[in-house]
Chain A
Amino acid sequence: MIPFIVRRFVVLLLTLLVVSVLCFALPYLSEADPARSILRARVAELAIDADAVEGLKARYGLDRPLPVQYASWLGNVVRGDFGYSFTNRMPVGDQIGSALRVSATLALTALAIAIIVAFPLGAVAAIRPGGRADNVVTFITQSLVALPEYWLGPLAILVFALHLGWLPSAGWLEPAHVVMPACVLAFRPLAYFTRVARASMLDVLNAPYMTAARSRGLSVARSIVAHGLRNATPPVMTLFGIWLAGLIGGAVVIEVIFAIPGMGRLVYNAVVNHDIPLLQAGVVCIVALAVAINTVADLLYLALNPALRASRHAG
């Protein structure tokens, strides 16, 4: 177990290093002149003069060779200093910190909704595979996957905020602001969770020992709660980890539609404004988080599954 963890940790660090180089270097390599693009982000193209460009280069250290810039950037990042945004000149670290909190809240709420709905749906479908309930659930999950969130989002705002007035339309101040985006965001993971829950419940409900237990008088409800749920939890939790990593930062469209100051919108704004420090830091943080969540999920899975632990340890 221990060697495996150590190996995973080394891989994790290596991955992060490679990713950080890519995230740092690519935006600079693609721009003919970063200083010019910074100025372009602030003022109109015509107003840029050579003096301003040179001054900016000297101030941000952009005249140094790229590897030197990377080394100093990485050194600062390790100490938690991501530099300053090119556009609003605020510390990038602060912006990312608050955006991460917002996105994590949104993603966790959405995934909680998805899980709460997915288990009952999966169970209903698994009771009689191929039956009417199963077909209906399958059709619902397929439809949810095919629904674009940039269609549902504005529609939900129109109905629930403008017409019914039940919920605020956009923004991020009070708990009520979480409801609508979290529900819209929950649809796709909900569909996948349901599929997985159904499939893993089927695995156990169709097993010969379950037929034996049922013939000895175990009720359907009990078989689902005691055996189906238990069997479906680990695979759904694995998916949960993958989705959590993906939704923190990946919910760009929803965050833009609902004006939520999260990671997705931060990266989107960085792209639109050519704000290189913000882009670098945002992408590095999202990747680091994804890799970390992924590793933790793997280790948890390993800890919960002794059979796998033995085989991974040997291999």
Chain B
Amino acid sequence: MPAELRPPMPAGGAAAHGASVVRRFGRALAAWHWWFTLGMSAFAVIAALLILTPWIVPHDPAALDLRLRMAPPGSEHWLGTDHLGRDVLSRLLEGGRFSVSIALMTLILSIGIGTVLGALSARIGGLFDEALMRIVDLLLSFPEVVVALFLIAILGPGYGTLVLALTITGWTPFARVSRGLALEVNARDYIAAAEVLGCRRRFIVLRHVIPNLVRPIAAISFLRFGHKLITVGGLSFLGLGVQPPGSDWGAMLADARPYMERMPLLAIAPGVTIFITALSVTMIGQGLELSVDRRMAARAGRSPAAGRSATDAQAEGGER
């Protein structure tokens, strides 16, 4: 994590002297906005559960037990069983691995492709730049779900299809931001100064350009994550994402629909899980912004008011 994103460490040599590790940790934590802390903790718990799923899953998520259909929560099945007698908790865990890993994969691919193409576009300019920006414009106004449906029609449903579909529509905001920043940064005086001083190009990129990119890219990523999670779930809800007997939060909601009244927990559990996961990541992003704002405000000696600019918010708001 670059220095840009680190919140203020409380000053005070005397305190640091005798402070225990716990107290120092607590203070570092307090330096962050509480939204960040809360979002981070929630997401850490979810991520840990999903990573550990193969070892901690209480039952086989696909195992049917028709004698135990729609059993209420109990000591054997903590969240009860669904309409086919499958353990809800196990299916939640397995389904989370599907949606969350797809969201993460597409995010990583989108960041990679987007930043590289955007930076290249700024550097090459001319026709390449024009063409790329038109493509970005087009994809930005294009419903992601339709791209996904089209690709599913061609390639058939599956993990790879979903990643491909979400990446095709997902890289554009990153390309836009990285192109804009690359243009802006290249025009800065300190870049010219570094060039005059004889710094190598690679040094300039690593030391000046990339640190400037981290904050806006992180901001978009945190916002996009929840969105991708919900889209994956939506496609599974339509029966075009995960295929049975696999599990996914969206597919669980679709399964639960006819039984919502008889057993509300079947619909509540996956819904709340999607909500909390998506919200925790958004809160990390927002908390990060607020922490940085607070530090910058403290440095500039004004109240932490401004928040992000209108153009930032607009660039993010275009994402469906």
Contact check, A143 vs B313: say whether CB atoms are below 8 A apart. Answer: no
Minimal Cβ-Cβ distance residue in B for A15: B138
- Shortest CB-to-CB span from A275 to chain B, Å, is 9
Contact check, B145 vs A253: say whether CB atoms are below 8 A apart. Answer: yes
Which residues of A have CB within 8 Å of B318?
192, 239, 242
Chain B binder among A78-86, A198-206, A213-221:
A198-206
- Shortest CB-to-CB span from B17 to chain A, Å, is 33
Contact check, A291 vs B254: say whether CB atoms are below 8 A apart. Answer: no
- Shortest CB-to-CB span from A305 to chain B, Å, is 13
With A252-B238, A291-B141 in contact, is A271–B314 under 8 Å at CB? no
- Shortest CB-to-CB span from A244 to chain B, Å, is 9
Size bracket of the B interface: 35 or more
A105–B306 Cα gap in the complex (Å)? 37
Contact check, A199 vs B308: say whether CB atoms are below 8 A apart. Answer: yes
A11–B153 Cα gap in the complex (Å)? 28
Which of these, B153, B286, B317, contacts A270 with CB under 8 Å?
A: B153
Which residues of B have CB within 8 Å of A27?
153-154
Q: List 21 A-B contacts (CB under 8 A).
A: A27-B153, A27-B154, A30-B154, A143-B279, A145-B282, A148-B230, A148-B233, A148-B250, A148-B271, A148-B278, A154-B257, A198-B307, A199-B314, A200-B310, A202-B310, A238-B314, A250-B143, A268-B149, A271-B149, A272-B239, A291-B138
Chain B binder among A46-54, A57-65, A282-290:
A282-290
With A143-B279, A200-B310 in contact, is A286–B317 under 8 Å at CB? no
Cβ proximity bits B129-159 to A, threshold 8 Å, 1 near / 0 not: 0000010011011111110011011110000
Contact check, A250 vs B145: say whether CB atoms are below 8 A apart. Answer: yes
Contact check, A253 vs B142: say whether CB atoms are below 8 A apart. Answer: no
Which of these, B141, B282, B306, contacts A242 with CB under 8 Å?
A: B141
Contact check, A267 vs B279: say whether CB atoms are below 8 A apart. Answer: no
Contact check, A196 vs B310: say whether CB atoms are below 8 A apart. Answer: yes
Q: Among residues 146 to 186 in chain A, which have CB atoms less than 8 Å away from a CB atom of chain B? A: 146-151, 154-155, 158, 162
A285–B275 Cα gap in the complex (Å)? 33
Minimal Cβ-Cβ distance residue in A for B319: A192
Which of these, A129, A147, A267, contacts B146 with CB under 8 Å?
A: A267
Contact check, A250 vs B138: say whether CB atoms are below 8 A apart. Answer: no
Which residues of A have CB within 8 Å of B153?
27, 30, 270-271, 274, 279
Q: Among residues 256 to 275 in chain B, which have CB atoms less than 8 Å away from a CB atom of chain A? A: 257, 260-261, 267, 270-271, 274-275
Interface residues of A (CB under 8 A from B): 11, 15, 19, 23, 26-27, 30, 129-130, 138, 142-143, 145-151, 154-155, 158, 162, 188, 192-193, 195-196, 198-200, 202-203, 206, 232, 235, 238-239, 241-243, 245-247, 249-250, 252-253, 256, 264, 267-268, 270-272, 274, 279, 283, 286-287, 290-291, 293-294, 298
With A195-B317, A202-B306, A235-B310 in contact, is A146–B149 under 8 Å at CB? no
A30-B153, A235-B314, A242-B317 known; 19 new pairs, CB 8 Å cut-off, are A143-B279, A145-B278, A146-B274, A146-B275, A148-B275, A155-B267, A162-B261, A196-B314, A198-B313, A242-B318, A243-B320, A245-B141, A252-B234, A252-B238, A264-B145, A271-B149, A274-B153, A279-B150, A290-B143
A245–B309 Cα gap in the complex (Å)? 25
- Shortest CB-to-CB span from A185 to chain B, Å, is 11
Contact check, B238 vs A256: say whether CB atoms are below 8 A apart. Answer: yes
With A11-B134, A252-B238 in contact, is A203–B313 under 8 Å at CB? no
B4 within 8 A of A: no
B303 within 8 A of A: yes
Interface of A: prevailing SS? helix
A249–B141 Cα gap in the complex (Å)? 11
Contact check, B226 vs A146: say whether CB atoms are below 8 A apart. Answer: yes
Which residues of A have CB within 8 Å of B260?
154-155, 158
Which residues of A have CB within 8 Å of B137?
294, 298
Which of these, B152, B234, B307, B314, contacts A129 with CB under 8 Å?
A: B307
Which of these, B274, B278, B313, contacts A195 with CB under 8 Å?
A: B313
Q: Among residues 270 to 300 in chain B, which have CB atoms less than 8 Å away from a CB atom of chain A? A: 270-271, 274-275, 278-279, 282-283, 286
Minimal Cβ-Cβ distance residue in A for B148: A252
Cβ proximity bits B209-225 to A, threshold 8 Å, 1 near / 0 not: 00000000000000100
- Shortest CB-to-CB span from B105 to chain A, Å, is 20
A283–B307 Cα gap in the complex (Å)? 39
Minimal Cβ-Cβ distance residue in B for A254: B234
Which of these, B144, B306, B320, contacts A206 with CB under 8 Å?
A: B306
Which residues of A have CB within 8 Å of B240?
271
A149–B274 Cα gap in the complex (Å)? 11
- Shortest CB-to-CB span from A20 to chain B, Å, is 13
Most buried by B among A143, A151, A196, A268: A151
Contact check, B154 vs A249: say whether CB atoms are below 8 A apart. Answer: no
- Shortest CB-to-CB span from B45 to chain A, Å, is 16
Which residues of A have CB within 8 Å of B226?
145-146
With A145-B227, A199-B310 in contact, is A151–B271 under 8 Å at CB? yes
- Shortest CB-to-CB span from B249 to chain A, Å, is 8
Which residues of B have CB within 8 Å of A192?
313, 316-318
A252–B146 Cα gap in the complex (Å)? 8
B85 within 8 A of A: no
Which residues of B have CB within 8 Å of A241?
141
- Shortest CB-to-CB span from B264 to chain A, Å, is 9
With A199-B307, A199-B309 in contact, is A150–B237 under 8 Å at CB? yes
Contact check, B149 vs A148: say whether CB atoms are below 8 A apart. Answer: no
Minimal Cβ-Cβ distance residue in B for A235: B314
B22 within 8 A of A: no
A28–B247 Cα gap in the complex (Å)? 31
Which 8 residue pairs are nearest across A and B when measured between Cβ atoms?
A250-B143, A192-B317, A146-B278, A200-B310, A151-B271, A146-B279, A199-B313, A199-B310
